[in-house]
Amino acid sequence: MNKIKLGMVGGGHGSFIGAVHRKAAALDGYYQLTCGAFSSRPSIARETGAALGLAQARVYDSYTDMFRQESARPDAERMQAVAIVTPNHLHAAPAIAAMKKGFHVIVDKPLALTLDEAKKICQVMHETGCELALTHTYAGYPMIKEARHLVQTGKLGRIRKIQVEYPQGWLSSPLENEGNRQASWRTDPACAGAGATGDIGTHAAHLAEYVSGQLISELCADLNTVVSGRRVDDDAAALLRFDGGASGALIASQVAAGEENNIRLRVYGELGGLEWCHRNADTLLLNLHDQPARIYRRGSAYLSPAALNNCRLPPGHPEGFIEAFANIYSSFARRLHTPATERLSSDACALGYDYPSINEGLRGMAFIEAMQASAKSTQKWTAITL
Amino acid sequence: MNKIKLGMVGGGHGSFIGAVHRKAAALDGYYQLTCGAFSSRPSIARETGAALGLAQARVYDSYTDMFRQESARPDAERMQAVAIVTPNHLHAAPAIAAMKKGFHVIVDKPLALTLDEAKKICQVMHETGCELALTHTYAGYPMIKEARHLVQTGKLGRIRKIQVEYPQGWLSSPLENEGNRQASWRTDPACAGAGATGDIGTHAAHLAEYVSGQLISELCADLNTVVSGRRVDDDAAALLRFDGGASGALIASQVAAGEENNIRLRVYGELGGLEWCHRNADTLLLNLHDQPARIYRRGSAYLSPAALNNCRLPPGHPEGFIEAFANIYSSFARRLHTPATERLSSDACALGYDYPSINEGLRGMAFIEAMQASAKSTQKWTAITL
Amino acid sequence: MNKIKLGMVGGGHGSFIGAVHRKAAALDGYYQLTCGAFSSRPSIARETGAALGLAQARVYDSYTDMFRQESARPDAERMQAVAIVTPNHLHAAPAIAAMKKGFHVIVDKPLALTLDEAKKICQVMHETGCELALTHTYAGYPMIKEARHLVQTGKLGRIRKIQVEYPQGWLSSPLENEGNRQASWRTDPACAGAGATGDIGTHAAHLAEYVSGQLISELCADLNTVVSGRRVDDDAAALLRFDGGASGALIASQVAAGEENNIRLRVYGELGGLEWCHRNADTLLLNLHDQPARIYRRGSAYLSPAALNNCRLPPGHPEGFIEAFANIYSSFARRLHTPATERLSSDACALGYDYPSINEGLRGMAFIEAMQASAKSTQKWTAITL
Amino acid sequence: MNKIKLGMVGGGHGSFIGAVHRKAAALDGYYQLTCGAFSSRPSIARETGAALGLAQARVYDSYTDMFRQESARPDAERMQAVAIVTPNHLHAAPAIAAMKKGFHVIVDKPLALTLDEAKKICQVMHETGCELALTHTYAGYPMIKEARHLVQTGKLGRIRKIQVEYPQGWLSSPLENEGNRQASWRTDPACAGAGATGDIGTHAAHLAEYVSGQLISELCADLNTVVSGRRVDDDAAALLRFDGGASGALIASQVAAGEENNIRLRVYGELGGLEWCHRNADTLLLNLHDQPARIYRRGSAYLSPAALNNCRLPPGHPEGFIEAFANIYSSFARRLHTPATERLSSDACALGYDYPSINEGLRGMAFIEAMQASAKSTQKWTAITL
């Protein structure tokens, strides 16, 4: 099987998520990093390329250069897909430019800075026929696939309640004033668009919708800027109503001091509840009403194909964040390797080969905008509208 | 030390909380159950009394009889305090009648059916000089005392966020239609006043306020009746604002299928967060920002006096719900043994000898009424007013 | 139901286990503490009696006095059973004296100082027809009853492996030299007979045998005295062979610094394994081969009668050490309330009304002596012989 | 930085550990899989090579061919190191042949079939100056590095007790008779040499020695073959004595039904104990005597360089088995990139760049042979001798 030749926009030295994308792409052997426009600062771009063992000719000063020059290369060499790992305000332009040159796109979340930008990406995607993957990492965890499977197969009965939370503590102090690059762009409204809501709230909202199969229809949000002087929200909470009749709550905070990245989902139906938390990502708890709870474990033979096809190791040998990330990359590779005419298979989801894409990106942006509108409103409920 | 002679209103055969009160009263040897009006059905009252080894003369057909006859007995025999363990609508009348005869009162939560009733209890309490304890059990756990101590001594810095939840699953189906007595009165508006909000939401609200030292000032509630045909709310969620500047969320549900009684509190300050959950009641987690988390354990020598004075056993030998309940009983006994002129000691709290009383009862009723008002309102925020 | 009138030998101010026995006896209302010979120091004995609210006439200077005077009292007043809570070397004499006067006996473990003493107790028990309960607390936990039930009903298939451990850390330093009374007698060979082996090793051995239904037939022990100057073993490990074909290991240490009282049992059969640990005493894990593990929880309706009859509370409201202790007391009360002619019911065990008695006491002493013999031997295996 | 050109012996379709080695090598970008002799069956070898995207010319029918032809290639193309991922009896010959051609070696554990073979590998290694890494995976976990660091820096005081266990359940039934390839060779004495002792007991022994800094000097073993008809031990337990004065126990079982791969280590010193288990690989528990326990978490800024240099992600984003494996690969790459004249730096260990090598391999084989000798002996203690 030939490896997909991958380019990268962003991800220079000091970037956090760029390295994750590279490791995720490398893990299963489906991709070969071929070229990159790693930084707007040429020296950093070149250093990064060299450290990665890339030929100098494949390290570009800008994504515009990269797309232009790569599209001129012969088939056997040319970049086929590009990973966009820049701050949020630099997602839409390269994504659109890439697709216009025929490159498939992998883009970090949230999809864009605004819902409007996201809609433009959607339009270009449809016009060009290019594919797009959005790295909502948590959807890549095998036990999340199993959770979705258990909901879909009715193990919980009708879903009634959905609780999702993403507590972080790293922004408990004004790190953005202390030269922390990650903190700086993530708290700059011009780069990030939103704070906790966009950075982690979108993950929580996606996870809730992905597993429950219900979409958030209305929400009632309280956004706070806890650290004084900060320019975006760093703490968000919302009451939720879902289109399938469930209610719930979402909490996303970056000032929950002492917390790491403990995204946690609970879904309750008539017959029982599911619980998954990032800290024990290999475990899914099924709490059945009036029965002993079940501990489902990644890698176990009794899991659904959707989960097992996203496992590499037998149970007890832990898999983590990079593996979950790699599951998105690998499913996307599988998609790109499938002839376009055969791509409509409805089995992808049952087999666990689905990945977040443009619809999830649009919903994420609509979620952010509804949260922000609700926070400013004195009315209780605000609808999410695309 | 002479045991306090205790009477009981309610708690006949088949009652849940009556037996808990009796075991809690017996555990540390401060009380002797002396008499009771255990049921409005005389045969059940008598059976219960006999099973408890009470003399027939001390088993009464009504609390009115009991208060009248007991107050006529000589000092050495007479009931001194009464535990009221009836459904909510039968709290106020016996509490008021008891105090008017000079009996101290221990009453299960919530204090009454309405805030108005609660205020009447308050007034009689002040008129008679009687004491009252309200069994918000969770406040009796030693690690909750420690949590409060850590907040008070500034270990977390200024408190910013408070999350509290009480998920239960036992009312996931309409048990009240199947002859379940506990379910019947708890879902009858005339007996219970409120559903999940009153039964467990008040516990959650009390715990949040007790540990954080901040009071809920405003809330935005979503109350649901998930099981069709049910006559009270069985699911509640609210966004919270506290008078000390913190924000938070409260979740209380009786249809979280598969959940037991897992009340859980998290309090976050500038420097770190605390986490306690009922399932690991002997453990308190202190997650300090950028330091290894600390596991505080009940019974350990390094705990505050407030916690240690509520422990009976060394760490590793678990204590549970009855012990927490007994801590309220024992602190109340200590109070009753203290001459009235000496009762104003401000040390009770530092020593862990405090217990929930009339103020907590009033706040609980105000919380219930604010939740119900907010649920009906289209406005986002509703104030809690006493 | 009339309460059983209970006397106590030992348990004066400062004793640890005496207070536990009293609370356990009080909890369910089956016993009334009536008299005591709490200490060989009369002033302590009297203080203790007064604090417990006993009439002065029922507080004795010695157990000899107590047995003599109590046996002279009229039926309606007379002590019926006695709890012996003294150090190990003071178990046999009062137990034998009590039974000779017709008093039933509850005695702390280990049963005696030597196997010979234990055999004498056994003989007197048979001669007098008195009953005896031995407080191997862990056998009183509901989830241990459930574990035994799951093994007995074949849920694990044939049992192959048994691991049991009891790590403690409190004797990591020479506390016996610092005036710690608990440490002093427990490390004095004349009072304790053995160190870790007797104090906690017997608990571990009993738990393994009780749940698995297999008896240790041979062992290979390594006993250490880790703290220099200590006069007994403070650390024990042994390979085990069981009479039903299982093998295993036992670890009991009092110098496992940082550990509390985390006794833990694992039993593996052909089809799966069980895991219970004291720290999560309300939980029993059933790990079935190639199936999701099951979490059994105390108080749940799906448990066996043997477990449920030892529960007081619904699941999620924790019960602890005193409750487990009380289960032994309450089962013993049930036995004493049963007319002697009806006592042979084979159902006691299935209903969870069994309690450790003389056979368990004899085996405990044989275990201690085999461990000590093996530790001195250069041969690998030493048999346990009664 | 140029990637190290890696060959592979074994690891054809259906192999378990081959794929793990490849993913581990790929993860951090230090290696490029260049060639392989993946199977003795040419069709499988070729299929595997093709699936991995290797040129046909670099897929060989035997390791002899591979070493010969690769050594004839020009520098820029030639394989530089080889990963040997065959069953145990096929470790020594290719390792020796590879080194004789100047190729560095990464070999799965245990190092060889016998201690004699291991000694021969050692001799050739010294003769050729080639380097060797042994993939004792668990030593690659960052929190194991931290554990070692805490011991080395005296946080526990003098080490007194070491407990290590590796329970697995997958061989609870005779899978080797049902066509399971992994089970077949692992239970074949000619291929595996030993059963549970070699396959997982060596991991446990290595972990205990690596973290504690003490070496097992004597042991007393009980080896069992629980599944009837099996030709190797599937269950092992041993009492241990260490050269630094500690005692301990080791348990390794493949018939602990319901267990996954839950290797777990506890080390106790004068001041406290450490606990790590594979199931929560990102967490290290430090239980200090009379202080709140500390939870150390992978990725946290407060960790030692030895741990942090083996982390890729911030705390809360889990890393797993492949990452631990990759840490061995990456440290080995760092070593190979270091000019030979500079390799003696004593800092490698403090920086976490150490990896298991020939000494660990020799000790593993000596451990296996001592366990087997002890199991046959009636004497209690057997020394480990190299």
Q: What is the CATH number of the domain that holds C221?
A: 3.30.360.10
pLDDT of C26 > 80? The answer is yes
- Considering the domain architecture, whether residues B165 and B109 belong to the same structural domain is answered as no
Q: Name the residue among C139, C38, C176, C51 with its Cα closest to residue C94.
A: C38
User: What mean pLDDT is predicted for residues A135-152?
Assistant: 98
Question: Token pair of C29, please?
Answer: 């209302």
Long-range contacts of the stretch A89-94 (C-beta < 8 A, 24+)? A89/A113, A89/A190, A89/A191, A89/A192, A89/A193, A90/A9, A90/A10, A91/A117, A91/A121, A92/A117, A92/A118, A92/A120, A92/A121, A94/A9, A94/A63, A94/A67
Strand partners, B330: none
Nearest chain A Cα distance for residue C285, angstroms: 9
Question: Distances from the Cα of B277 to the Cαs of A262, B167, B236, in angstroms?
Answer: 16, 11, 19
pLDDT of B5 > 90? The answer is yes
Angle, CA of C93, C97 and C103, to the nearest 5° = 130
Residue C15's pLDDT band, with cuts at 50, 70 and 90, is: confident
Alpha carbon distance C18, C108 (integer Å) = 9
* For testing contact with chain A, the best of B268, B274, B284 (most A CBs within 10 A): B268
Residue D325 counted as domain residue: no
Contact at 8 Å (CB) between C227 and C173? yes
C289–D258 C-beta distance less than 8 A = yes
% of chain A at pLDDT higher than 90: 95
Question: Token pair of C70, please?
Answer: 């109590």
pTM of the model: 0.97
C-alpha A41: how far from its chain's center? Answer: 27
Contact at 8 Å (CB) between B49 and B18? no
Residue C350 counted as domain residue: no
CB pairs under 8 A between B and C: 112
pLDDT of C344 > 60? The answer is no
Domain total of chain C? 2
C296–A286 C-beta distance less than 8 A = no
**In chain B, at which residue ranges do the beta strands (DSSP E only) sit?**
4-9, 31-37, 81-84, 104-107, 132-134, 159-167, 216-224, 235-242, 247-253, 264-269, 272-277, 283-288, 293-297, 382-383
Which ipTM did the prediction report? 0.96
User: What mean pLDDT is predicted for residues B137-141?
Assistant: 98
**Which tens digits make up the pLDDT trace of B143-161?**
999 999 999 999 999 999 9
Question: Token pair of D117, please?
Answer: 């073979």
Residue C347's pLDDT band, with cuts at 50, 70 and 90, is: confident
Q: Name the residue among C194, C202, C232 with its Cα closest to residue C219.
A: C202
pLDDT at B252: 98
C287–D226 C-beta distance less than 8 A = no
A302–C291 C-beta distance less than 8 A = yes
* Closest in C286, C290, C302 to A291, CB measured: C302
- Pairing relationship of beta strands A81-84 and D272-277 according to DSSP bridges: unpaired
- Considering the domain architecture, whether residues B360 and B223 belong to the same structural domain is answered as yes
User: What mean pLDDT is predicted for residues A181-205?
Assistant: 96
Nearest chain D Cα distance for residue C323, angstroms: 26
- Which CATH number does the domain housing residue C38 bear? 3.40.50.720
Residue C64 counted as domain residue: yes
Q: Which of D103, D130, D157 is the last residue of a domain?
A: D130
- Considering the domain architecture, whether residues B371 and B233 belong to the same structural domain is answered as yes
Alpha carbon distance A270, B189 (integer Å) = 23
Q: Which of C103, C130, C157 is the last residue of a domain?
A: C130
- Considering the domain architecture, whether residues C46 and C195 belong to the same structural domain is answered as no
- Considering the domain architecture, whether residues A290 and A364 belong to the same structural domain is answered as yes
- Considering the domain architecture, whether residues D199 and D123 belong to the same structural domain is answered as no
* For testing contact with chain B, the best of D149, D275, D287, D294 (most B CBs within 10 A): D294
C-alpha C18: how far from its chain's center? Answer: 13
User: What mean pLDDT is predicted for residues A194-216?
Assistant: 98
Neighbour-count burial of B249, counting CB atoms closer than 10 A to its CB (0-12 exposed, 13-18 middle, 19+ buried): buried
- Considering the domain architecture, whether residues B169 and B119 belong to the same structural domain is answered as no
Side chain identity at A115, as an amino acid letter? L
- Considering the domain architecture, whether residues D273 and D147 belong to the same structural domain is answered as yes
Instruction: For tokens 């405990």, name the residue.
Output: C364
Residues of chain D with Cβ-Cβ distance to C249 below 8 Å are 237, 249, 251
- Considering the domain architecture, whether residues C126 and C13 belong to the same structural domain is answered as yes
User: What mean pLDDT is predicted for residues B160-171?
Assistant: 98
Q: Name the residue among B277, B334, B280, B343 with its Cα closest to residue B310.
A: B334
DSSP A216: E
D312–A19 C-beta distance less than 8 A = yes
Count of other CB atoms within 10 angstroms of residue C257:
28
Residue D349 counted as domain residue: no
C295–A301 C-beta distance less than 8 A = no
Residue A323 counted as domain residue: no
- Considering the domain architecture, whether residues B200 and B119 belong to the same structural domain is answered as no
Alpha carbon distance C204, C210 (integer Å) = 10
Count of other CB atoms within 10 angstroms of residue D81:
25
pLDDT at A201: 98
C-alpha C59: how far from its chain's center? Answer: 26
Question: Distances from the Cα of D125 to the Cαs of B183, D114, D354, D360, in angstroms?
Answer: 75, 17, 18, 14
Query: Which stretches of chain D drop beneath a pLDDT of 70?
Result: 341-346
Contact at 8 Å (CB) between A64 and A366? no
B295–D292 C-beta distance less than 8 A = yes
D296–B290 C-beta distance less than 8 A = no
pLDDT of C346 > 80? The answer is no
- Considering the domain architecture, whether residues B90 and B236 belong to the same structural domain is answered as no
Q: Which of C130, C163, C198 is the last residue of a domain?
A: C130
For C62, the 3-state DSSP assignment is coil
Structural domain containing residue D68? 4-130
**Which tens digits make up the pLDDT trace of B330-360?**
999 999 998 776 665 668 889 999 999 999 9
Residue C386 counted as domain residue: no
**Which tens digits make up the pLDDT trace of C86-141?**
999 999 999 999 999 999 999 999 999 999 999 999 999 999 999 999 999 999 99
pLDDT of A273 > 80? The answer is yes
- Considering the domain architecture, whether residues C28 and C166 belong to the same structural domain is answered as no
pLDDT of A176 > 80? The answer is yes
Q: What is the mean pLDDT of chain A?
A: 96
Strand partners, D218: D241, D383
Residue C33 counted as domain residue: yes
The size of chain D, in residues, is 386
For C118, the 3-state DSSP assignment is helix
Q: What is the mean pLDDT of chain B?
A: 96
Q: What is the mean pLDDT of chain C?
A: 96
- Cis bond leading into D174, ω under 30°? no
Residues of chain D with Cβ-Cβ distance to A319 below 8 Å are 318, 320-322
**Which tens digits make up the pLDDT trace of A334-384?**
999 987 766 656 688 899 999 999 999 999 999 999 999 999 999 999 999
Residue C381 counted as domain residue: no
* For testing contact with chain C, the best of D150, D161, D250 (most C CBs within 10 A): D161
Nearest chain A Cα distance for residue C30, angstroms: 31
Q: Which residue of B has its CA nearest to C325?
A: B317
